[in-house]
């Protein structure tokens, strides 16, 4: 699995990036980087098999209007579509190191096997030489057997090999119903939002990236705890509006709050400048009117 991927230093100034931001805001830029990170880790060849627009937007962390981000990626050539399959535009050209990660892993594995086989071969030769030396020494200087023969030690009992339980990881189960145990757990940790919607997003996300777990119930518990931790503003009963002006919990939320405050300040300054300009114009007109009056004789 890749630990990083490449982005050109000129990328933020590319015309396609500016068009994407003008159309969908700075959140789209963050979602694009998140999508590339997902691809580098899970789809290193850039081909998004078994993923549709919704899956791509979930992998990118897009929280805006459905399909809008995915269609914008297609429009500005960040994403290509051919024969029913989506893939990242020019991924191999711009991220060749990530693209060939599987080939590098295979070469490293083969090299390790060669070293291991060579080591075992040398070990066998050393064991053969040791046995030969032992046989030769036994013929030349035999040692008498002790009399009487010692009784076997109590500590030499055969050890019973206990097999460890091995957990088998499986993919997303075909049926993942919401049980009474899951409902009680959600109430216990204080989750009051739509449990069915959360579970569906959990299943769609892990299906899209091909996750495997030995216990899917434990994975679901981690998912719902992270929802409460990172997105507290969404933990509201179904039908109620999302609360605004909440304290930012993540770096992305803090950036969004800072942009909103900056926009409010700029709008206020523009209005003040417009009011001052109007007042100056009215004052100039008044002075001109006074000068244009005829003087009393």
Query: Which pLDDT value is given to residue 296?
Result: 55
Question: Which of 147, 11, 155 has the alpha carbon at shortest distance from 78?
Answer: 11
What is the mean predicted confidence (pLDDT) over 233-251? 67
Query: Which pLDDT value is given to residue 241?
Result: 66
The answer to whether residue 77 sits within a structural domain is: yes
Query: Which pLDDT value is given to residue 110?
Result: 74
pLDDT at residue 279 tops 80: no
The answer to whether residue 230 sits within a structural domain is: yes
Query: Which pLDDT value is given to residue 208?
Result: 81
Q: Is 139 or 172 the better-scoring residue by pLDDT? A: 172
For 57-66, 99-108, 156-165, 193-202, which range has the lowest pLDDT when averaged over its residues?
Answer: 156-165
Q: Is 80 or 131 the better-scoring residue by pLDDT? A: 80
> What Rg value do the Cα atoms of the chain yield, rounded?
35
Number of domains in the chain: 2
Q: Which residue has the tokens 């989750």?
A: 191
Q: Is 82 or 288 the better-scoring residue by pLDDT? A: 82
The answer to whether residue 25 sits within a structural domain is: yes
Query: Which pLDDT value is given to residue 297?
Result: 46
Spell 150-169 as b/e; 16+ CB within 10 A means b. eeeeeeeeeeeeeeeeeeee
Exposure on the CB side of residue 275, measured as CA atoms within 13 A: 6
Query: Which pLDDT value is given to residue 292?
Result: 55
| Neighbouring-strand partners of residue 88 | 79
Strand order in the sheet with 79-82: 47-48, 85-88, 79-82
Cβ partners under 8 Å of residue 296, min gap 6: none
Query: Which pLDDT value is given to residue 176?
Result: 87
User: What is the distance between the alpha carbons of residues 241 and 101, in angstroms, rounded to a whole number?
Assistant: 45
Cβ partners under 8 Å of residue 196, min gap 6: 178
Q: Is 150 or 279 the better-scoring residue by pLDDT? A: 279
- End residue of a domain, out of 77, 94, 111: 94
Percent of the chain with pLDDT over 70: 66
The answer to whether residue 158 sits within a structural domain is: no
| Neighbouring-strand partners of residue 82 | 85
Helix axes 15-24, 68-75, angle to 10 degrees: 160
Query: Which pLDDT value is given to residue 17?
Result: 93
Query: Which pLDDT value is given to residue 250?
Result: 65
Instruction: Give the domain extent around 51.
Output: 11-94
Question: Which of 45, 13, 47 has the alpha carbon at shortest distance from 29?
Answer: 13
pLDDT tens sequence across 282-291: 666 555 555 5
Query: Which pLDDT value is given to residue 221?
Result: 92
What is the mean predicted confidence (pLDDT) over 57-76? 91
The answer to whether residue 18 sits within a structural domain is: yes
Burial class (CB in 10 A: 0-12, 13-18, 19+), 235: middle
User: In this structure, what token pair is assigned to residue 143?
Assistant: 């040692």
Query: Which pLDDT value is given to residue 234?
Result: 80
The answer to whether residue 156 sits within a structural domain is: no
- End residue of a domain, out of 46, 76, 94: 94
User: In this structure, what token pair is assigned to residue 96?
Assistant: 């060749």
User: What is the distance between the alpha carbons of residues 34 and 61, in angstroms, rounded to a whole number?
Assistant: 7
User: What is the distance between the alpha carbons of residues 71 and 161, in angstroms, rounded to a whole number?
Assistant: 59
Q: What is the mean pLDDT of the chain?
A: 77
What is the mean predicted confidence (pLDDT) over 85-106? 78
pLDDT tens sequence across 186-217: 999 998 888 888 888 888 888 888 889 889 99
- End residue of a domain, out of 94, 113, 128: 94
pLDDT at residue 139 tops 50: yes
Could you tell me the sign of the dihedral formed by the alpha carbons of 209, 214, 220, 222, in that order?
A: negative
The answer to whether residue 50 sits within a structural domain is: yes
User: What is the distance between the alpha carbons of residues 233 and 200, in angstroms, rounded to a whole number?
Assistant: 19
For 150-159, 246-255, 264-273, which range has the lowest pLDDT when averaged over its residues?
Answer: 150-159
The answer to whether residue 208 sits within a structural domain is: yes
What is the mean predicted confidence (pLDDT) over 267-281? 76
Beta strand extents in the chain (DSSP E only): 47-48, 79-82, 85-88
Query: Which pLDDT value is given to residue 185?
Result: 92
């Amino acid at each position: 699995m890749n630990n990083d991927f490449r982005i050109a230093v000129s990328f933020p100034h590319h015309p396609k990036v500016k068009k994407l931001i003008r159309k969908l805001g700075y959140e789209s830029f963050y979602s694009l980087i998140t999508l590339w990170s997902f691809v580098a880790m899970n789809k290193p060849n850039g081909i998004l098999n078994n993923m549709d627009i919704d899956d791509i937007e979930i992998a990118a962390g897009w929280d805006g209007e459905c399909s809008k981000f995915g269609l914008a990626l297609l429009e500005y050539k960040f994403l290509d579509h051919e024969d029913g399959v989506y893939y990242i535009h020019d991924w191999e050209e711009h991220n060749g190191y990530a693209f060939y990660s599987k080939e590098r892993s295979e070469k490293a594995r083969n090299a390790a096997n060669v070293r291991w086989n060579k080591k075992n071969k040398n070990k066998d030769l050393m064991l053969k030489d040791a046995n030969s030396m032992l046989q030769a020494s036994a013929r030349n200087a035999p040692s008498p057997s002790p009399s009487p023969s010692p009784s076997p030690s109590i500590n030499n009992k055969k050890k019973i090999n206990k097999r460890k339980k091995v957990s088998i990881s499986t993919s997303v189960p075909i049926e993942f119903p919401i049980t009474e145990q899951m409902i009680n757990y959600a109430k216990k940790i204080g989750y009051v939002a739509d449990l069915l919607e959360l579970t569906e997003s959990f299943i769609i996300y892990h299906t899209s990236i091909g996750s495997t777990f030995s216990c899917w119930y434990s994975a679901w518990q981690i998912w719902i705890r992270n929802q409460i931790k990172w997105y507290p503003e969404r933990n509201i009963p179904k039908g109620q509006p999302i609360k605004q002006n909440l304290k930012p919990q993540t770096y992305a939320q803090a950036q969004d709050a800072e942009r909103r405050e900056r926009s409010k300040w700029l709008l206020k300054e523009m209005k003040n400048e417009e009011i001052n300009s109007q007042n100056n114009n009215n004052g100039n007109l008044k002075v001109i009117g006074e000068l244009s009056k005829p003087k009393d004789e």
